[in-house]
Amino acid sequence: MAEIKLMKGNEAVAEAAIRAGCDAYFGYPITPQSEVIEYLMMERPEDRTGMVVLQAESEIAAIHMVYGAAAAGKMAMTSSSSPGISLKEEGISYMAGSELPAVIVNVVRGGPGLGTIQPSQADYFQTTKGGGHGDYRLLVLAPASVQESADFVADAFRLAFKYRNPVMILSDGVIGQMMEKVIMPEQTPRLTDQEIIEKYGDWATTGKPDDKERNIITSLELDPYKQELHNIKLQAKYTQMQEEEVRYEMINCEDADYILVAYGSSARISQKAMDLARAKGIKVGIFRLITLFPFPSEQLNDLAGRVKGFLAVEMSAGQMIEDVKLAIEGKTKAVHFGRYGGVIHSPEEILEALEQKLIGG
């Protein structure tokens, strides 16, 4: 039987990266994410799998090192927290434009600006609606436990290479800092250049072969008509993500009158609020987003036809609520509740918001 460990979410991400066969990690420390790079430095994965771990001189350098490694067809990742992710956005946009796979972890803290080091979910807009410039999307996975923090790393790499697009794991200060039981996946060997080509196609810049032209990785195309064609191709990938990659979890939704919509740590806290509500006889269910993009619009729309309302619970002033409202097309009521700026809402506050803003409002 696999060994059960007690780990922080951040440590689980780091160990899972080694085990996913990641080739290279480039990062820069920032609270509440620093355990990712600390763990990797302590663990010395170069001795275990040959994986490169490097502390760059800045977040910007780190993301462009990821760009370079990804352009060579390697499984590369970086991690940071909100202000550091803002610095990386230029590189992320370039990778989306250049169609490069990469895994980026954001352990979100309160903002804007340097903000606070306490947990937050206020980077939802940045993560799902751009962040960098141009018409692009990230595929976004939001873990709600230490186990998912581990499991989503290999998933993220698989999806990144499937779509040749950056994938973001959107964690937060709670999920990153808390310890829970975790069972680590088995070690996957790192892929050779040849195995990458066989598995994901011959697109990387691994040298000019004799029998064909060299591959070029770039996000630059000065001819607007060609750039439009490139954009259409990118959009087709995002449409395919919407068709194939939507992930969510429904808890007690079958008989529910009211649904708490949440992701990450808010989904965990909402579960306690759900228990408190059910103890009072209010039939509450949870709709937990696992992918933030693609957004489970159809599933929420289906639910909207048979419930009395949605409470979008997020540690922000109201970001995910916009996508919830778009999804349910006004079929029923949807209101937002959340503490923000680094403050974590309690289960009791969520219950109070449910009773006053949704049921009584």
Residues at the interface with other proteins (CB under 8 A): 4, 6, 31-32, 117-118, 173-174, 177-181, 265, 268-275, 344, 346-348
Least distance to other proteins, CB of residue 258, Å: 17
Cβ proximity to other proteins, 244 vs 275, nearer residue: 275
Cβ proximity to other proteins, 235 vs 346, nearer residue: 346
Least distance to other proteins, CB of residue 166, Å: 28
Give me the residue label for tokens 């579960």.
271
User: What are phi and psi for residue 182, nearest 5 degrees?
Assistant: -150, 140
Least distance to other proteins, CB of residue 338, Å: 13
Least distance to other proteins, CB of residue 347, Å: 5
Q: What residues contact 243, with CB distance under 8 A and at least 6 apart?
A: none
Cα 128 to Cα 123: distance, rounded to the nearest angstrom: 9
Cβ proximity to other proteins, 174 vs 204, nearer residue: 174
Least distance to other proteins, CB of residue 268, Å: 5
Q: What residues contact 195, with CB distance under 8 A and at least 6 apart?
A: none
Q: Nearest-CA neighbor of 22 among 11, 30, 14?
A: 14
Cβ proximity to other proteins, 197 vs 343, nearer residue: 343
Q: Enumerate long-range contacts of 357-361, CB under 8 Å, 24 or more apart.
A: 357/311, 358/258, 358/309, 358/310, 358/311, 358/333, 359/258, 359/282, 359/308, 359/309, 361/335
For the chain, the straight-line distance linking the first and the last C-alpha, in angstroms and rounded, comes to 51
Q: Nearest-CA neighbor of 241 among 168, 294, 169, 165?
A: 294
Cβ proximity to other proteins, 9 vs 27, nearer residue: 9
CA distances from 199 to 83, 193, 256, 306 (A): 35, 10, 44, 44
Q: Nearest-CA neighbor of 102 among 68, 51, 146?
A: 68
The amino acid occupying position 215 is N
Cα 66 to Cα 286: distance, rounded to the nearest angstrom: 36
Cβ proximity to other proteins, 99 vs 172, nearer residue: 172
Cβ proximity to other proteins, 68 vs 342, nearer residue: 342
Describe the crossing of helices 320-328 and 297-304 by its angle, rounded to 10 degrees: 60
Q: What residues contact 180, with CB distance under 8 A and at least 6 apart?
A: 6, 7, 9, 145, 146, 147
Least distance to other proteins, CB of residue 193, Å: 38
Least distance to other proteins, CB of residue 90, Å: 29
Least distance to other proteins, CB of residue 248, Å: 17
Least distance to other proteins, CB of residue 247, Å: 19
Cβ proximity to other proteins, 178 vs 326, nearer residue: 178
Cβ proximity to other proteins, 273 vs 311, nearer residue: 273
DSSP 188: P
CA distances from 73 to 68, 78, 102, 209 (A): 9, 16, 10, 15
